[in-house]
Amino acid sequence: MFLEIMMLFFGICLVIGQTVVFVLTFVWTLPNTLIGLFTGFFLTFGRPKWKYGCWIFASGKGISKYIKNHALAITFGYVVICWEPKTSKDKRVLVHEKHHVSQYKILGPFFLPIYAFLLILSKGSQGTDHPLERGAYEKMDEYVEGHAVVKKDVLYDVLHAALGFLLAISTLIYLVSFF
Ligand SMILES: [Zn+2]
């Protein structure tokens, strides 16, 4: 009986903690997500589709036609803007942009200043010379047709679970200390 109660307690802690981490990540990424939604809604006259854990705009309208010859897509927080509708079907591009979404989740509001700073160091290159692009291009090269776009990131999941568990446990200890 004791073991069952402990297991249940552990499970509840994990679910609460992961929910808290999810909400915190969402809030931490929100300023950039709002930039993405603003750009998507008002500058490409599009409606986003929620897929692979992000909002994807791909109307090809508005400012898209001025940018599509220079870039395939751009990511702000949880928002991926594809400058041509067909790009949103290209899984290799999506794998690349999904990696940027993960970077936004960690760096939050610091992503854009850090990206800009590193852009100066890489002499304006948005290729593999740029440290934040390197990982995204590696993920793109690793992608094999038919595989899932969102691959399980073991390290991220373990950290997510551990942080969630710590948060839940400390909250519960804090609450219990009142009695
Ligand atoms: Zn990129």
What angle separates helix 131-142 from helix 91-107, to the nearest 10 degrees? 140
CA 13 – ligand 1 centroid, Å: 36
Range of the domain at 111: 19-148
**Total structural domains within the chain:** 1
What whole-number distance in Å separates Cα of residue 57 and Cα of residue 71?
14
In a domain, 3, yes or no: no
Question: Which residue matches tokens 């609460």?
Answer: 16
What angle separates helix 154-176 from helix 2-38, to the nearest 10 degrees? 120
What whole-number distance in Å separates Cα of residue 34 and Cα of residue 55?
11
Query: pLDDT tens digit string along 40-81?
Result: 999 999 999 999 999 999 999 999 999 999 999 999 999 999
CA 115 – ligand 1 centroid, Å: 10
What whole-number distance in Å separates Cα of residue 172 and Cα of residue 13?
8
| Residue 9: pLDDT over 90 | no
Helices (H), the chain: 2-38, 64-67, 91-107, 111-121, 131-142, 154-176
CA 100 – ligand 1 centroid, Å: 7
In a domain, 156, yes or no: no
Q: Which two tokens stand for residue 38?
A: 């603003």
CA 93 – ligand 1 centroid, Å: 9
- At residue 151, the pLDDT reads 65
- At residue 153, the pLDDT reads 64
User: Which residues are in the CB-under-5-Å shell of ion ligand 1?
Assistant: 133, 136
Query: pLDDT tens digit string along 12-33?
Result: 888 888 888 889 999 999 999 9
In a domain, 103, yes or no: yes
How far is C-alpha 73 from the geometric centre of its chain's CA atoms?
15
CA 133 – ligand 1 centroid, Å: 5
CA 21 – ligand 1 centroid, Å: 25
In a domain, 179, yes or no: no
- At residue 18, the pLDDT reads 81
In a domain, 92, yes or no: yes
- At residue 131, the pLDDT reads 95
CA 83 – ligand 1 centroid, Å: 14
In a domain, 51, yes or no: yes
Question: Which residue matches tokens 């008002």?
Answer: 42
In a domain, 85, yes or no: yes
CA 42 – ligand 1 centroid, Å: 23
What whole-number distance in Å separates Cα of residue 21 and Cα of residue 164?
6
Query: pLDDT tens digit string along 129-178?
Result: 999 999 999 998 888 877 777 766 666 667 777 887 888 888 888 888 88
In a domain, 5, yes or no: no
Angstrom CA distances, 117 to 121, 124, 130, 146, stand at: 7, 10, 10, 36
